[in-house]
């Protein structure tokens, strides 16, 4: 899942609990009401950016193990993960990418749910090649009306 963006324009590398807390503390009250953009790069590291950031620049155009949106909740004296999804129409990560997210969150000691709290299912249309979000089990391309594959096929190698 490689994107064509300028390397070095990425999100904030979060490598510790203190680093996560410091990044969240820099956010405005309005930003804290929305989820953030996240990516887990091939280095297994978590990167965060404000919600309206694209996932590809968040990781500096590199490959990802997972990407989506994440929110944090204040519990007692620390920030914990409230919700996390694989919603990234640029990378279209498969739902099994959760294991990469869980490892990255373990590394920064933020706690986590047992999986994505909102799983997004993606398919690439074999006819028009557009990425689709499958809603309510309707596996028909919203752009051209073609049937979508039953299994995930978004990886460019597929």
| pLDDT bracket for residue 2 (50, 70, 90) | very low
pLDDT tens profile 106-142: 999 888 899 999 999 999 999 999 999 999 889 999 9
Assess if residue 7 is contained within a domain.
no
Would you state the pLDDT for residue 10?
66
Structural domains in the chain (count): 2
- Provide the whole-model pTM: 0.84
User: Per-residue pLDDT tens for 62-79?
Assistant: 789 999 999 999 888 888
Q: How confident is the model at residue 5 (pLDDT cuts 50, 70, 90)?
A: very low
89 contacts 109 by C-beta, under 8 angstroms: no
Provide the domain limits for residue 79: 12-107
Same domain, 55 and 91: yes
What does the pLDDT look like over 15-37, one tens digit per residue? 999 999 999 999 999 999 999 99
pLDDT of residue 156: 57
Residues 65 and 93 in one domain: yes
Same domain, residue pair 69 and 141 = no
Q: Which of 83, 85, 95 minimizes the C-alpha distance to 123?
A: 95
Closest CA to 61 of 104, 97, 9, 100: 9
- Asked if 64 contacts 47 with a C-beta cutoff of 8 angstroms, the reply is no
């Amino acid at each position: 899942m490689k994107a064509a963006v300028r390397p070095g324009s990425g999100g904030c590398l979060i490598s510790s609990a203190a680093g996560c807390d410091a990044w969240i503390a820099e956010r405005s009250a309005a930003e804290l009401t929305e989820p953030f953009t996240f990516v887990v790069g091939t280095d297994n590291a978590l990167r965060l950016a404000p919600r309206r950031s694209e996932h590809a620049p968040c990781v500096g155009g590199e490959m990802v193990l997972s990407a989506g949106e994440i929110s944090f909740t204040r519990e007692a004296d620390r920030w914990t993960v409230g919700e996390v999804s694989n919603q990234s129409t640029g990378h279209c990560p498969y739902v099994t990418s959760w294991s990469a997210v869980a490892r990255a969150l373990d590394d920064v000691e933020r706690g986590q749910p047992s999986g994505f709290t909102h799983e997004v299912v993606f398919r690439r249309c074999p006819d028009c090649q557009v990425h689709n979000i499958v809603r309510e089990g309707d596996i028909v391309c919203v752009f051209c009306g073609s049937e979508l594959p039953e299994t995930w096929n978004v990886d460019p190698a597929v």
